[in-house]
């Protein structure tokens, strides 16, 4: 989020991002295909992507599974009202649970929304997800004043990253 964590992308980096954000070409030399599209040598593509990977601008390179199609059809966004004094100690413990795929602190919107900890829990069915959420409740203990779980019903939109030019 903060400026010191970000790296500056120049125009060529942006063109690489635009050429790869929907995926790499499935050919024997995918980075060469990207290089040809961007109009630079393949060594530049490799060096620039290595720099973005190093800086964390690329989280990882590989297969992005579709949880729904892989049978992980229950996807519960668990939300928790955790004591502000304890959330930064407890959040990483929740995030370390193997079945939690994303874990963030976010603002409350009182009185509509009292929850400040969001933890995404995946599982093959809602029963398994509910048992996993009970584990989180145990872990949080009395620091948690309430929680809820929002199951996803439908994907309405899912696109890759798009950078403005």
Give residue for tokens 């995926």: 23
Q: Least distance from C-beta 39 to another protein, angstroms?
A: 18
Looking at the Cβ atoms of 85 and 164, the one nearer to another protein is 164
CA distance linking residue 140 with residue 103, whole number of Å:
14
Q: Least distance from C-beta 97 to another protein, angstroms?
A: 9
Nearest 10 degrees: CA dihedral of 49, 44, 40, 28? -70
Q: Least distance from C-beta 142 to another protein, angstroms?
A: 20
Looking at the Cβ atoms of 125 and 145, the one nearer to another protein is 125
Looking at the Cβ atoms of 102 and 145, the one nearer to another protein is 102
Which helix or strand (DSSP H or E) is residue 18 part of? helix 11-20
Q: Least distance from C-beta 101 to another protein, angstroms?
A: 5
Q: Are 94 and 140 in contact (CB under 8 A)?
A: yes
Looking at the Cβ atoms of 31 and 38, the one nearer to another protein is 31
């Amino acid at each position: 989020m903060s400026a010191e964590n970000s790296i500056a992308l120049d125009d060529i980096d942006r063109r690489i991002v635009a050429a790869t954000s929907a995926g790499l070409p499935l050919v024997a030399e995918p980075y060469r295909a990207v290089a040809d599209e961007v109009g630079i040598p393949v060594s530049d593509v490799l060096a620039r992507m290595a720099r973005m990977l190093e800086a964390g601008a690329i989280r990882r390179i590989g297969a992005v599974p579709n949880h729904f199609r892989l049978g992980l059809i229950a996807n519960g966004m668990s939300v928790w009202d955790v004591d502000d004094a304890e959330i930064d100690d407890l959040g990483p413990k929740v995030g370390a649970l193997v079945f939690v795929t994303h874990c963030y602190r976010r603002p409350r919107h009182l009185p509509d929304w009292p929850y400040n900890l969001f933890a995404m829990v995946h599982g093959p069915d809602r029963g398994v997800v509910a048992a996993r959420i009970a584990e989180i409740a145990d872990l949080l203990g009395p620091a948690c004043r309430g929680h809820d779980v929002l199951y996803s019903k439908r994907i309405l939109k899912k696109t890759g990253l798009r950078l403005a030019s």
